Structure 1
């Protein structure tokens, strides 16, 4: 017997194109490195000797005294390129330029990030005990650029402890509490941020969190953290709009990208020509209660992510996810290449029903794995359109409470109950699309 309430519709004409608004509404072009420098700094003896409060004060002072439109440039010298610092707060219009060979390292001392409750570096009932390493609070313009690195030192043993940040996260998972680890970069109520060519490594928690941000560009960014580093999401836009992530490479210990909508709607996001490796996938959710819409994912590869294209929520945090278009996507070595699930936590309770509608996949190619399409119920089905979607013959479908439609490119293997004439011609060739992570 077929899963309950499956409605299949074959479209005789081409699949409708994505609405024009289903992407970042800004005209985004490649950023450039700053031309106006207000300070050029090399590591001080304080950094080399571990007197991080002094180095933090020096870096923060340079940022504070830099006028809008200027940049603070960190460079390596004959003694090295490592700057050891505590939390830094960015200023409107100021860019932090980390040059090739320079590494801005987050000091692994929980006291540096503690918000006053003495929870940072612990497992507790709440998980908000740490300041982020780099903060953008209410800023306009500026960002972080350069061919250097920011190292969160998530794998370093914390000062005064016998655990690393990542071990704290794993212990929280075992004990059922909340980890109190600092995020690497957090932007709150900010506008027009730029992240260009920078490498982010070893975050203790999320690498980049955007909360109520209007306009942010990630271009040529690399994020690199071990696969077993729990809760180290790559880039998480939340309650934000007009975000572009392009020409970037992400491997992380959790979601490569997670588009969230807990406190406010997230919409108009473009994810273009990116490469994802280990991690939990290119995700929407799990907080979708305020609504996610107008998302374009185009010309990306997902090489070894656990889930591939993923939408996840449940009745404790569900909302409307609509106008999401995936096109020209290549997947391989994924346990769940497609994972659209309205019952992410089967034990969750609440009245916030997840609704996924107007989801389209065009020229999506993958291998074997489990393909999940799970709507909430017959009154709230998941609606998906396919055109030129091909997976290996060993791929299996799990389909429940859905309305499926297909254009002339079809879908293979055919979901249960949908009758299609096989599409003519070979599937798109992904052979030249795969790219190794740039070491």
Structure 2
């Protein structure tokens, strides 16, 4: 088996003071721990022409118990390794729980598949693999990390949630349930791939996460979360088609009292928000997103929950290539609060439907109007280059709850002859043009103000910034 080695590398930001890292930790490249146990695969993955999967005969051969026993008996600071052995390269599991200081490593060439049997994942009898208006999740996550510190999930292998494959005994997938739930105004009771709660100093390193039934990673109420060299690779959602696929498959969602977060050197493509910062109970603060590439998905998002605040966020050296939205802050009157002290610096966006999508009129998760209105202020866009047309929104809530945005070096690089036109929404907002220049031509808007004016400048260079999604 390959022996892992990594050189500690301190994140070198090389930024202006306003764009400096907001994660208060000194973040270094993770190191895969010494192994306490190596588990060999007993199953072989196959292809059904669309997905990697297992034969019907292997679906019931769960590895849950032996993986969980290995985790439970592993000492702090050590790792349980899942490894391929010849033609055997697959594991299949129900719910797993990480323990204090223990890392789960999926080795290169190995895949950990989530079971397709909803009974294995159900929280109560019959609660999983359905559409229901009852409250609650219905299904346990594949991996839970709760009230432990210094746990991790690492390795060059794959964790596959199989969201597009038929739930056992049905002709319906988890993603099909998501579409049914949308039509029925109900909830899809399917699993999430990784859910953490009060998991301080949790690490994801080099792992590939694929095709989660719902969110890939939900990080809540933790202090210290590092995502380094991770790939999220889920099929593209194509709305308004017979099988749109991959609804609600967010990539990384920090929220609910989390702080000190770094996402770096990662590649994400999925069916919803690539990253969604959720300012629910406890809010989110001190987060750095640096040196990343996003592809299909809903972009670099804040919201829709912002009621307890989002602050001290720095997003730097990010490419958004074909995302539905690019830079996105979304909320509404029923889930709004203060979003402030947010800087985007060194951003390349192309072929996005909404390259700048800052709106307090987001309607997907509740009524636009309500008793918890959002306010966005001290939002800075610096060195942002956009091509490919699309909608640009600076859209506040009302006269007292506004969207205040500073533009400093924000350019439409194909503004003279775009293949797709640019359109604007500019309401209840205040835009300040900075010294770096901009060629955005904002309309008069409704209850909107402009300080300064568009000026000439040199657009931020995106030469060699857009790279293919790594599939090796």
Shared topology, TM-score over 0.5? yes
The aligned length equals 421
d(CA) in 2 for partners of 1:165, 1:421? 48
Whole-angstrom distance in 2 between the partners of 1:347 and 1:95: 42
Q: Could you list the per-position Cα deviations for residues 115-149 of structure 1 after superposition, in whole angstroms to 9, with x for gaps in the alignment?
A: 01522100001351010000101010020111000
Identify the match of residue 64 of structure 1 among 72, 75, 87: 72
What residue in structure 1 maps to residue 248 of structure 2? 231
Counterparts in 2 of 1:390-429, with a 5 A limit?
Answer: 390-391=411-412, 392-393=414-415, 394-416=421-443, 418=450, 420=453, 422-424=455-457, 426-429=458-461
Specify the alignment match of 1:353 in structure 2.
373
Q: Which moved more, 1:339-348 or 1:112-121?
A: 339-348
Q: Normalising by structure 2, what TM-score?
A: 0.86
Q: Does 1:263 pair with 2:278? A: no
Q: Report the CA distance between 1:78 and its aligned residue.
A: 1.2
8 A contact 2:161–2:212 mirrored in 1: yes
Q: State the match for 1:382 in structure 2.
A: 403
CA RMSD for the aligned pairs?
1.8
Aligned to 2:348: 330
Unaligned segments of structure 1, at least 5 residues: 1-15
Q: What is the match of residue 18 of structure 2? A: 18
Counterpart contact for 1:93–1:141, Cα < 8 Å = yes
Q: Per-residue deviation at 1:18?
A: 2.2
How far did residue 51 of structure 1 move?
Answer: 6.3
Matches within 5 A, 1:93-172: 93-125=101-133, 126-172=135-181
Matched residue, 2:41: 43
Change (3 A) 1:33 1:284: same
Contact 1:18 1:323 in 2 (8 A): no
What 5-or-longer segments of structure 2 have no aligned partner?
Answer: 1-15, 45-53, 238-245, 416-420, 445-449
What residue is the counterpart of 1:79 in the other structure? 87
* Alpha-carbon spacing, 1:405–1:17, altered in 2? closer, same or farther (3 Å): farther
1:92-118 CA deviation, whole Å, 9 max, x = no partner?
Answer: 100011110010000111111100152
8 Å CA contact 1:117, 1:129 repeated in 2 = no
CA distance in 1, matches of 2:42, 2:19: 53
For 1:12, the equivalent position in structure 2 comes to: none
What does the per-residue CA deviation read over 1:29-69, in whole Å, with 9 as the maximum and x for residues that have no partner?
111222x2110111136998536565110110000000101
The DSSP-based 3-state class of the residue aligned with 1:166 is: helix
Query: What is the CA–CA distance in structure 2 between the aligned matches of 1:167 and 1:53, rounded to whole Å?
Result: 25
Distance 1:340 1:128 in 2: 29
| Bigger mean CA offset, 306-315 vs 120-129 | 120-129
User: What is the CA-CA distance between 1:262 and the residue it aligns to?
Assistant: 1.4
Are the counterparts in 1 of residues 226 and 261 from structure 2 also a CA contact under 8 Å? Answer: yes
C-alpha distance in 1 between matches for 2:77 and 2:130: 39
C-alpha distance in 1 between matches for 2:59 and 2:398:
58
**Shift in CA distance, 45/235, structure 1 to aligned 2, threshold 3 Å:** closer
Describe the shift of the 1:318–1:159 C-alpha distance in structure 2 as closer, same or farther (beyond 3 A): same
Distance in 2, Cα, partners of 1:192 & 1:427: 38
Q: What is the TM-score with the length of structure 1 in the denominator? A: 0.92
Q: Does 1:432 align with 2:464?
A: yes
Bigger drift between 37-46 and 194-203 goes to 37-46
